[in-house]
Amino acid sequence: MSATTVRTRRPAVLLLCCAALLTACGSTGGGPPVVRAEPVSAPPADPARVAATAAATGAFGLDLLRTLTADPAAAGHNLVLSPSGLATALAMVLPGARGATADELAAALHTELTPEQYAFATGALNRGGAPAAGKGTVLRRSDDLWAQRDAPFDPHYLGVLAAAFDTGVHTADFRADPEGARKAVNSTVEKATDGRIKDLFAPGQINPATRLALTDALYLKADWARPFKAGRTTGLPFRRLDGSEAAVPTMAATEPLRYAEGSGGILGEPWQAVELPYAGSTLAMDLIVPAQGGFEAFRKGLDQAQLDLVLGALAERAVDLTLPKFRFDTANELTPTLRTLGVTTAFGDAADLSGIPAPGSTERLRIGPVVQKATVQVDEQGTVAAAGSGVGVEAMAAAPPKQTVQLHIDRPFLFLIRDTASGLPLFLGQVTDPAA
Which residues span the domain enclosing 134?
A: 75-219+327-395
**What pLDDT does residue 222 have?**
95
What are the pLDDT digits (tens) for 257-288? 999 999 865 667 789 999 999 998 899 999 99
User: Looking at the 3D structure of the chain, how many domains does it have?
Assistant: 2
Quick one: 101 and 176 in the same domain?
yes
Element (H, E) at 292: none
**What pLDDT does residue 289 have?**
95
Q: pLDDT-based confidence at 322, cuts 50/70/90?
A: very high
270 and 310 in contact (C-beta within 8 Å)? no
What are the pLDDT digits (tens) for 356-402? 999 988 899 999 999 999 999 999 999 999 999 999 999 997 445 55
According to DSSP, the β-strands at 413-419 and 283-290 are antiparallel
Give Cα 313 distance to the centre of its chain: 26
16 and 156 in contact (C-beta within 8 Å)? no
Of 319, 322, 324, the C-alpha closest to 406 is 319
Of 253, 401, 235, 377, the C-alpha closest to 321 is 253
In a domain, 250, yes or no: yes
271 and 289 in contact (C-beta within 8 Å)? yes
Dihedral (CA of 431, 432, 435, 436) sign: negative
**What pLDDT does residue 56 have?**
97
Average pLDDT of span 134-151: 89
Judge whether residue 304 has pLDDT over 80.
yes
Stronger pLDDT, 29 or 238, i.e. the higher one: 238
**What pLDDT does residue 167 have?**
87
**What pLDDT does residue 7 have?**
37
3-state secondary structure 2-45: CEEEECCCCCCCCCCCCHHHHHHHCCHHHCCCCCCCCCCCCCCC
Judge whether residue 168 has pLDDT over 90.
no
CA distance 394 to 179: 15
Q: DSSP letter for 422, please.
A: T
Judge whether residue 24 has pLDDT over 50.
no
- E strands in 234-362: 234-239, 245-262, 271-277, 283-290, 315-324, 326-333
Quick one: 123 and 212 in the same domain?
yes
Quick one: 108 and 180 in the same domain?
yes
Helix, strand and coil percent figures for the chain, each rounded to 5: 30, 35, 35
Residue 146's CATH number: 3.30.497.10
In a domain, 174, yes or no: yes
What are the pLDDT digits (tens) for 84-94? 999 999 999 99
Quick one: 271 and 343 in the same domain?
no
Average pLDDT of span 180-191: 96
Residue 286's CATH number: 2.30.39.10
- E strands in 296-379: 315-324, 326-333, 365-378
CA distance 276 to 258: 8
CA distance 16 to 158: 9
Quick one: 92 and 105 in the same domain?
yes
Average pLDDT of span 241-265: 92
In a domain, 44, yes or no: no
Average pLDDT of span 199-227: 96
Quick one: 244 and 378 in the same domain?
no
DSSP 374-420: EEEEE-SSEEEEEEEEEEEEEE---PPPSSEEEEE--S-EEEEEEET
Quick one: 288 and 318 in the same domain?
yes
Judge whether residue 25 has pLDDT over 60.
no
Quick one: 126 and 204 in the same domain?
yes
* Backbone dihedral region for residue 129 (phi beyond 0: left; psi -120 to 50: alpha; all else: beta): left
Average pLDDT across the chain, whole number:
88
User: What angle do the packed helices 115-127 and 83-93 form, to 10 degrees?
Assistant: 140
Average pLDDT of span 69-78: 86
What pTM was estimated for this model as a whole? 0.87
CA distance 132 to 197: 24
Quick one: 321 and 333 in the same domain?
no
In a domain, 416, yes or no: yes
In a domain, 165, yes or no: yes
Q: What is the CA radius of gyration of the chain?
A: 22
Quick one: 112 and 193 in the same domain?
yes
Quick one: 141 and 265 in the same domain?
no
SS3 of 295, please? helix
In a domain, 312, yes or no: yes
**What pLDDT does residue 30 have?**
32
**What pLDDT does residue 189 have?**
97
In a domain, 37, yes or no: no
Dihedral (CA of 17, 18, 24, 29) sign: positive
**What pLDDT does residue 43 have?**
87
The residues with which 271 forms a beta bridge, in sequence order, are 262, 290
**What pLDDT does residue 129 have?**
62
Quick one: 291 and 171 in the same domain?
no
SS3 of 179, please? helix
In a domain, 117, yes or no: yes
Q: Count the neighbouring beta carbons within 10 Å of the beta carbon of residue 115.
A: 20
